[in-house]
Amino acid sequence: MHARAFKVILALVVVAVGLRLAWPTDSVPATPRSAQATPSAVSPATPSAPSTPARAGRRDDALAASAIVDAAGDVANPLNRSGGTIHEDLRVLHEVFTAWLTTYRSEGNPVGENDEITAALCGRNRLGVAFISSHHQAINERGELCDRWGTPFRFHQLSGTRMEIRSAGADRRFGTPDDALWAPWTQAIEG
């Protein structure tokens, strides 16, 4: 695994575990054992407020997911930056999908066409977490993530955790020798 991606994943896991341990899961504070009623010291019955669920559910998940994304920083910032290469861009996109998978472990990669996947990465997802700014320079007016030459990337979900990412290259035509491909089965870039 790429060293930077490993560090990002490790940081995300540490933050998620820390949040899970630190975030209260009960709405009722724990009562010290010495203050609990014993059978010989039962007080008269008093009406109690309706109990609340032990977990806030979506709120807890959203906070944990936001912390994961915040811990990783905006990993998409280097995408299509001046002086960069398409190979660097493909690695950045791989890190974005890795952050997504860390947050949505049970759901797998986002699915659909480029614009649908981009929308999910920009925050139109179950928790509303943005992994990339909707105003990022790599997103065109149709809401598609594009390579450094302005051609929309092709995303092909090979499995729930493996996403193939293809750029048409400088000639802006797919199927030519300058195409670049993120090949998750080899964790390498071809092209």
Q: For residue 98, is it within any domain?
A: yes
84: in domain: yes
Tally of structural domains, the chain = 1
Kindly report the number of other CB atoms within 10 A of residue 86's CB atom.
22
Q: Evaluate whether residue 166 is within a structural domain.
A: yes
Can you give the residue range of the structural domain that contains 75?
8-16+57-190
Report yes or no on whether pTM surpasses 0.95: no
39 occurs within a structural domain: no
Q: What is the pLDDT of residue 46?
A: 40
Please write the tens of the pLDDT for every residue from 39-68. 444 434 444 444 444 444 555 555 565 555
Question: pLDDT at position 160, please?
Answer: 87
Residue 31 lies in a domain: no
Q: Would 100 be classed as within a structural domain?
A: yes
Question: Is residue 34 situated within a structural domain?
Answer: no
Residue identified by tokens 């575990």 is: 17
Question: Distance between alpha carbon 71 and the CA centroid of its chain, in Å?
Answer: 11
Mean per-residue pLDDT of the chain: 75
